[in-house]
Structure 1
Amino acid sequence: MLNICFLGKSKIEYNGESLQDKLGSKAIALICLLALKENGYLSREKIVGYLWPDSNIEAARYNLRYNLWLIKKNIGSDEYGNSFLNVDNEFCCINKKYDFKCDILEVMKFKPSDNDSVEGLLKLKRLFRGDLLEGCFFKKCEEFNDVILFERINFERYKVKILKRLIDLYENEDLFDSVIEVIKEILEIEPYDEEMVLKLMDTYVKCGKRVAAITYYNNYSNGLAGSLGISPSNELKKKYNEIKALANKDLCYDRIDEYKNISGSDKKVDRMGFVIYSDCLKYIEYFWIADVLDKLVKLDKEEIFSCLNNKELWDLGYIQFSVLKFCSEQPDIIQGYRREVIDVCIVNAFIKLLKHICERQNLTIIIKNSSNLDNISANVLAYLKRLQINELKLMEE
């Protein structure tokens, strides 16, 4: 049985034996060219022009004859006695009757249908081990290299088509986490596909992850502005505003109406809003700020953090790791990220967060043992008092 793989590093096996070294790079390139014709004929003249453009006509024809012989010598007949190649004086092609497997032929045969299954699509997806003829480039064979570059783009389109069909099937089963994963794969290939960005934001909302949708939009918008100098479409802006409005509405209707003081007795709060009971440790930088952030995270309200982009969440994540749950993407190594974080970034993100909450409802922060505030937190608290943010109440015990 013959198995051929051209996506990623090329691999050709006949009856379990690798033929890479026996065939050589030009013979493998020739097989790839014939496979791309989908078992159609390719003229000897065209093949010579692709693979030996700088050779004189006699040398080029000899090279072609030698490589055709090499292929026939190493790739024997199939179980039905069919030869792999059909060759005459003018044309070459892969024998349509020959029984073999080839990844690019499997991909090129794909057409979305009602008979598609998740298992079948995942099998096709796994064929994409890399680019077509990955790492392959022949000097002085510009036309052949151009063909391969064009086909690489073409196979990216095939992959996107397969992934989009996979999304349809996942959506039918309400497998929204899988939908998000596949959409992100598509956006790695086509980062400015606004149809997919819209679908990703919609899917985040279906999962109850409005903050992730808002954060993704902010990052996408910043990317467009930075890379292309443009802004998202009106349709995408409208979707963002709808999601943000829903997030704000949910935030406004939440309430916490009681909390425990240090002795354990209950204290009532007679107005709508959040009450945060925080603590201090004098010699640990940012302790009070980190403790307030932890209490906000434990409210389990994603909308609270919707005003912050990934960069700001990462900044706060340095002092309170739990904040990172609201990021749409995680930093690779949070410890390494500290080199890029300066104190003012953390403070600005914290103040922005408090302002965002207080624009929507009251926030009361009870500070236990305020005499033990660390230096940075003490300075931030003093600054907050000077700011006099509406609907923010700071109470020291």
Structure 2
Amino acid sequence: MDMLNIYFLGKSKIEYQGKGIEDQLGNKAIALICLLVLNEKRYLSRDKIVGYLWPDSNIEAARYNLRYNLWLIKKNIGEDEKGHPFLRVDNDCCSINRDYEFKCDIYDIMKFKPNQKDSIDSIIKLKQLFRGDLLEGCYFNKCDEFNDLIIFERINFEQRKVKILKRLVELYEKDDNYNDSLEIINEVLEIEPYDEDMVLKILDIYVKCGKRVSAITYYNNFSNLLAGSLGISPSNKLRDKYNEIRLTLSDSHPNRETDDYDKMHSKSSFNNKNYPALKIVSDCMKNVEYFWISDVIGKLVAVIDGEYINQLSEKELLDLGYIQSDILSYCSEKENLVYEYKREVMSVCIINAFIKLLNNICQNQNLTIIILNSSDMDEVSANVLKYLRRTQIEGLNIVEESI
């Protein structure tokens, strides 16, 4: 039986009895069909339709345009084999006929709900329906409300795609198909790059495949992405997973992977190009001593491995804690120490501790510090910055940007 097949994702395509009829319908008739399908076969008032598609026309002209496009649709899309018309139309409303048999990509996607009967093949078929954006390349002049609706629905369908991809990941995981799982997870991350649940799945898969070094590297790259793009650190759940992987790696028997891990963390084999890059964005404030240094320390505490901080002495931690309290959480007996350390800290102590922290990090990791509004940097921080540029710590890159 030749059916009506409608495709709205990507370039619009409408086939009736095996032939494309887009040219016979025209853009507004196609937009009208799309609008009715998006309303999931509910009645849509004529006034609402003309408000979407002919907002700049007077009421008589708009109603005429609607009647004409309804006639075009009826003329080109006939009744199905059971005699059902494609549209239900009365004096006030329009809708897709619930009894009419047809196929439509967005309608199939809108009906999707994960269930136990899902198969890999059925989900792949849904995935293949995403040929592009909803009504791709279409823009309707002076139809602002309709154009806004399409943009909104494009976002909705992107989220539906993510839902379908995640269901496919679950089915691949159930079959222990790790390669295909990783491929689909990466498709999800192209849409939602900060989805930590998907990152957790990647780490789990790497561990199951015996690639714990790959898991650690992936975590570091993701952590840098969060720090550089959002200025935040991974969730506790993700950090706990990372620490668990590192612990199992250090406790395992020597093998090729642990040898590679030791090389990766060995100062003697350090090469800037071979280590994961860490990037933070810092800001400045005039006339507030140590503001930039404090901001950098705070950003670093949020994203770096604690082992770099633990290499500082208790006194050095307290020196830095004088300008950035976040680092005090690394003091072993911070309450008593802080109480005893109420005296003002000498600037040289703060600066030396700060430089030592940067050196600790750059022994095993490239660090880029982006400075916003450097012209507003306080005097103490500006002098430290000059020193850092002069000494050129290996692995440290400082970039000034204006906003």
Quote how far apart the aligned CAs of 1:117 are: 0.7
Whether 2:33 is the aligned partner of 1:72: answer no
Equivalences for 1:4-19 in 2 at 5 Å?
A: 4-19=6-21
Q: Residue 141 of structure 2 corresponds to which residue in structure 1?
A: 139
Aligned to 1:347: none
- For residue 133 of structure 1, give the secondary structure of its aligned residue in structure 2: coil
Query: What is the DSSP-based 3-state SS (H/G/I as helix, E as strand, rest coil) of the residue aligned with 1:96?
Result: coil
Corresponding residue number in structure 2 for 1:159: 161
2:197 aligned partner: 195
| CA distance, structure 2, for counterparts of residue 40 and residue 305 of structure 1 | 64
| Matching residue of 2:110 | 108
Report the identity percentage: 65
**Quick check: 2:264–2:275 contact (8 Å CA) kept in 1?**
no
In 1, Cα distance between the equivalents of 2:177 and 2:263? Answer: 25
| Alignment-mate amino acid for residue 87 of structure 1 | V
Distance 1:300 1:213, change over 3 A: closer
- Measured against aligned partners, the alpha-carbon deviations of 1:134-181 in whole angstroms (never above 9, x if no partner) come to 122212211111111111111122112212221221111111111111
Residues 326-360 of structure 1, C-alpha deviations (whole Å, 9 max, x = no match): xxxxxxxxxxxxxxxxxxxxxxxxx969xxxxxxx
Cα shift readout 1:120-142 (whole Å, capped 9, x = no counterpart): 11111111111111122212211
Distance 2:263 2:152 in 1: 44
* 1:9 positional shift: 1.4
Deviating 4+ runs (over 4 angstroms): 298-302, 304-309
Specify the alignment match of 1:235 in structure 2: 237
1:173-200 deviations in whole A, cap 9, x for unaligned?
Answer: 1111111111111111111111111111
* Separation in 1, partners of 2:83, 2:76: 15
Offset at residue 307 of structure 1 (A): 5.1
- For structure 1, which runs of at least 5 residues remain unmatched after alignment? 256-297, 316-350, 354-397
Alignment of 1:235-314 (within 5 A): 235-250=237-252, 253-254=253-254, 303-304=261-262, 312-313=273-274
**Alpha-carbon spacing, 1:10–1:304, altered in 2? closer, same or farther (3 Å):** farther
Residue 103 (structure 1) shift = 0.6
SS in 1 for 2:234: coil
Task: Tell me which residue corresponds to 1:86.
Answer: 88
Give, in whole Å, the separation in 2 of the partners of 1:47 and 1:307: 64
Distance 2:41 2:10 in 1: 21
Tell me, yes or no, if the aligned pair for 1:78 and 1:98 is still in contact at 8 Å. yes
Q: Give the equivalent residue in structure 2 for 1:120.
A: 122
TM-score, normalised with respect to structure 2: 0.64
- TM-aligned CA distance change 1:236 to 1:58, over 3 Å: same
Q: CA RMSD in A?
A: 2.5
Q: Which amino acid aligns with 2:126?
A: L
Give distance in 2, aligned partners of 1:299 and 1:210: 8
Q: Shift in Å at residue 44 of structure 1?
A: 0.5
Mapped contact 1:248–1:303 kept (Cα < 8 A): no
Query: What is the deviation of 1:99?
Result: 1.0
Q: Distance in 2 between matches of 1:191 and 1:132?
A: 22
Distance 2:237 2:219 in 1: 12
Give the total of aligned pairs. Answer: 274
Q: Which runs of 5+ in 2 are unaligned?
A: 277-362, 366-403
Cα shift at 1:223: 1.3
